[in-house]
Structure 1
């Protein structure tokens, strides 16, 4: 599932408790970093760092793609990327020191270089989250057939098989524009508005903690744990391989709760991948998936199946969109859309309220309190470093204009259904949407890029009409999503740079290099999975459920409610309302009760992928 999992609101950075004599107080991480030699921004970009980032980014691209094409549920891995960056370069410098090598390759490893490597690696694998399991796969023939060849609006011309050429071109045309969308506003969002960007702040705190004497000890413990559980997972997967004789054979299909439960996909498939994902995700997410599995596979699907011949045709395969699978798909969409629209409106409201309050109080409290002098000095030092290596505005404006022209020319050539003015509108609105999204992400840590993409999907599908609506909606969704998503991610990275005293120029360069690597590695990784496995099989392991979900949303936008099976619309409205009410209840109830309200999007995931995924996640919670 293409979801941002860093939805916890973190705390902003705060200086240490001031002492009567600040010069003798223990320095904060930022103050300690200031004592290091401040390298020019070019020296923060090292060959060893870029090589490490390419390797880490490529490895995580494989992991992200595998998760995307199975359940679509991808937890955030930025923290582990920062840890691996630290381990790789600290190990490199330690090895050279043991060999007695004294050269530029053996220079000290700083927190600035660590930040650059982590940013580059994350930029590389983040492209794997930009639609490979949803809109891109939704264009292929298999998804077209799964949606029903006789479904109104699902025309034969709305098919485009994945290929290295057009996927790489699309990524280049859309992702680099997202990098430049908000570069001129970085100072406003990070320094002037002092937005917390909790994910960026958490990454900075982690990196600052690594580069202390105690950080080395903690890193050693983390390395031992990492190697231990990596070995266990690898050996278990190797052991499982010996006992797999077919598609429904082996430990992956062990009837843990009995054969009847197994037929409804309730079993533990011994997948270490999703047990690990369950250990990363909050308990509420995991329990919400289990509740969704019980509601769908335990109650709804068996009951609807008994209405075969009444609620859907008896002579149509259950995998058809006019059959049982249509109920599965659209009820899942209803939960996701209800959750997404609620948070979309909520974040817009929070953003508008915050900006209104900020405009009233802009100059009401400009003095720095003497009691917080040490923290103020740290903050001024961070601001100085952040402003020193400024990025020329002409570079951002000129680059964005250039990428707009490239996209306007190339994207209609790739997809004849996408008119050039659709792309112009997307690029014209991207800075406005990107600023709103980045401001909201700075306040709440919720990146609404996926919601903006879904909104674009419905608008463009309806605008293009029945014949061209599916392709125009899916491609427009991917374009807007990448532009808005990447710009918000860059602001998180700028916040990390601000707190680790890293040059914004080196961060932008690292993002650009990581994006360029991702534009090559990600399509190749995707096609490796696509050609080696049966991707898109609703009854197999590689379900890729969001491909069909996104195509159905495009059909809904192009055709209207006539694409729904009988009785599906009332049920969809009910589940949409359920998602909204669940969010309202979580916000209005006291925190001690609201934290138990399930998450609608997490509930929706098992509707299509099966209950075994939820069982794995709950096992991760127990562990």
Structure 2
């Protein structure tokens, strides 16, 4: 007899155990780990890896804000394999049903692959090595500090550095997942999504979510195609629409009709979107107009618009100072919390093993639910031998130590040796902190490597290139280690074998080592103005990372007047804002802006901030009207908008490579300028 909602609510209030997930799957055989890694899963993973890598690359080269696409990869993986199996079932040749373990393998493989489109540095440290970015930086051209992108060495670099992190924390998986019960919020959310898909009720909801995703995917793709016809030149098309007026547009305040960033705004938390908008208003609405009034006083009036000795220098270095202040604060915060929690948990485990009486011992033992018991059994069944992890780490590290100095001569072999000696400790700190807070600090460890190894190499011995390359080494290790541990958590909650998780992560990483460089190469060859400020793909973090490396080896002598003082102020301000967030009551603290998010528009403008804020307003209103429906279908709508616009980038790049240009330029002029244009045309005719 089914219980009423009132009875269920009463049980919940009285502390009754939550409904068991694994009892729903009682009687369903858990496939062996080799059966979880199927050919169809890998084929679907490859297709999704290409699609999501294009999306991440576009985000990387425009704003650098990368939302979590775990939900999209799990949802799309479910959809494509379901289409596959349904077709085979109707043909009468379906032999193997689609399981949640196979769905988890797809999600793991895809996340590993598209993750390299971000951690590979194509929007920051790797592209920051190029002559195009070096020409915008503060130092004179120096050939030993420049490495232009080439497909061959980028693929080789990815293969050399991307696998080390996979071996670094494998021996600690039981400690982090079972003993310390780290949450890994993104991994946990993805696991519940996949578990829900594969229950009878969940599959019906998943079909509706996929249908919603498909509708908005189609709309976003067709909208991008429609906009393309009106963008035949600079400042053309809907993205140049002065929605808030011409004066606001001059200061980069306008809604540019980007479906992708509306979708990103629907995925990102409300406070992130609000912080970005506040940063845009503070910088482009107040600071930059005031500093521009000091032209000829604080800096020369004859400088090029993009010179870092002028207004552009204030934009870049103040953004850098906020990012460093926020990164340093959160690094110390997560590190402190990690150490405290680790020590506390270690003491609890040690005390639980003391020889006390049976009654006390039983009182100290946590109650293990049916779900936990079942998951622990499966998680411990397929062990990954320690010699595989240790031997793999040593072998891959040796290959890297031998190979990397040939790719980047200023990066000496002993730099890499030191990096790999300390990397497991940093990888543990990052993975543990991510398990507690869902905050991946890989970029902070990368910035730390820039300053340490760049200064070690020195300004006259390729220190800038050495710093950027070491950033890539460190980011790859700590990022992949954290991603793998998060995937172990997802696998733990879906009864997926740790071996299948590890194997699918290795396969996904291998895919990403080829897919990510090829996708970047397509963008690099298709768009001549990539990396140029104000262009369609400005790659804002490339110049920021390069100038961090320059500061690490050269100091602050090249900064314009009062820029260093402003940097100190905003560095301190970032720390103070974080302190205010943490020390205030929760209701107050969650309304205080996030400095890292505020820093992003300082350099690239406010248009995307308006797009994202519109996205967050749409979701906010939807949540007020129907919270359950917004929770169920909001991620599908957002993923559809992001994926459709992102996939349009692929045919757009192909058209650009084929020299096919849009037929129309839609521009917006003031009344006076329009009268002058009309007069000129009339006089010419």
Q: Name the TM-score class by shorter chain.
A: over 0.9
Aligned counterparts of 2:152 and 2:441: Cα–Cα separation in 1? 29
Pair 1:434 & 2:421 matched: no
Aligned counterparts of 2:393 and 2:275: Cα–Cα separation in 1? 41
After superposition, residues 37-436 of structure 1 pair within 5 angstroms as 37-103=29-95, 107-130=96-119, 131-150=121-140, 155-365=142-352, 376-436=369-429
Distance 1:557 1:78, change over 3 A: same
> Is the 8 Å Cα contact of residues 20 and 370 (structure 2) preserved in structure 1?
no
TM-fit CA distance, 1:73: 1.2
Q: How far does the alpha carbon of each residue in 1:268-314 deviate from its partner, in whole angstroms, 9 at most, with x for none?
A: 11011111111111111111111111111111111111111221122
> Is the 8 Å Cα contact of residues 136 and 307 (structure 2) preserved in structure 1?
yes
Distance 1:372 1:100, change over 3 A: farther
TM-fit CA distance, 1:27: 6.2
> Is the 8 Å Cα contact of residues 81 and 118 (structure 1) preserved in structure 2?
yes
Pair 1:590 & 2:582 matched: no
Q: How far does the alpha carbon of each residue in 1:361-387 deviate from its partner, in whole angstroms, 9 at most, with x for none?
A: 2244576679996x5232122111111
Q: How far does the alpha carbon of each residue in 1:441-489 deviate from its partner, in whole angstroms, 9 at most, with x for none?
A: 1111111111111101111111111121100100001110110111011
Aligned counterparts of 1:17 and 1:211: Cα–Cα separation in 2? 26
Deviates more, 1:591-600 or 1:557-566: 557-566
After superposition, residues 553-568 of structure 1 pair within 5 angstroms as 553-568=548-563
TM-fit CA distance, 1:17: 7.1
Q: Provide the residue aligned with 1:512 in structure 2.
A: 506
Q: Provide the residue aligned with 2:27 in structure 1.
A: 35
TM-fit CA distance, 1:235: 2.1
Pair 1:574 & 2:561 matched: no
Pair 1:526 & 2:515 matched: no
> Is the 8 Å Cα contact of residues 433 and 484 (structure 1) preserved in structure 2?
yes
RMSD across aligned positions (CA): 2.0
Aligned counterparts of 2:19 and 2:36: Cα–Cα separation in 1? 23
After superposition, residues 446-465 of structure 1 pair within 5 angstroms as 446-465=439-458
TM-fit CA distance, 1:31: 3.3
> Is the 8 Å Cα contact of residues 30 and 499 (structure 1) preserved in structure 2?
no
TM-fit CA distance, 1:606: 0.8
* TM-score normalised by length of structure 1: 0.93
Q: How far does the alpha carbon of each residue in 1:88-121 deviate from its partner, in whole angstroms, 9 at most, with x for none?
A: 1122112211222243xxx111111110111001
Aligned counterparts of 1:576 and 1:148: Cα–Cα separation in 2? 20
> Is the 8 Å Cα contact of residues 556 and 563 (structure 1) preserved in structure 2?
no
Aligned counterparts of 1:91 and 1:33: Cα–Cα separation in 2? 23
Aligned counterparts of 1:343 and 1:123: Cα–Cα separation in 2? 25
> Is the 8 Å Cα contact of residues 307 and 313 (structure 2) preserved in structure 1?
yes
Which residue of 496, 511, 520 corresponds with 1:502? 496
> Is the 8 Å Cα contact of residues 33 and 500 (structure 1) preserved in structure 2?
no
Distance 1:215 1:323, change over 3 A: same
> Is the 8 Å Cα contact of residues 404 and 427 (structure 1) preserved in structure 2?
yes
Q: Provide the residue aligned with 2:595 in structure 1.
A: 600
Which residue of 595, 607, 615 corresponds with 1:612? 607
Q: Number of residues paired by the alignment?
A: 598
> Is the 8 Å Cα contact of residues 104 and 490 (structure 2) preserved in structure 1?
yes
> Is the 8 Å Cα contact of residues 468 and 549 (structure 2) preserved in structure 1?
yes
> Is the 8 Å Cα contact of residues 138 and 548 (structure 1) preserved in structure 2?
yes
Aligned counterparts of 2:323 and 2:364: Cα–Cα separation in 1? 49
Q: How far does the alpha carbon of each residue in 1:58-102 deviate from its partner, in whole angstroms, 9 at most, with x for none?
A: 110000001101111111111111111111112211221122224
Aligned counterparts of 2:80 and 2:218: Cα–Cα separation in 1? 18
> Is the 8 Å Cα contact of residues 115 and 502 (structure 1) preserved in structure 2?
yes
Give the unaligned 5+ runs of structure 1: 1-15
Q: How far does the alpha carbon of each residue in 1:176-227 deviate from its partner, in whole angstroms, 9 at most, with x for none?
A: 1111110111111111111111111111111111111111111111012111
> Is the 8 Å Cα contact of residues 30 and 378 (structure 1) preserved in structure 2?
yes
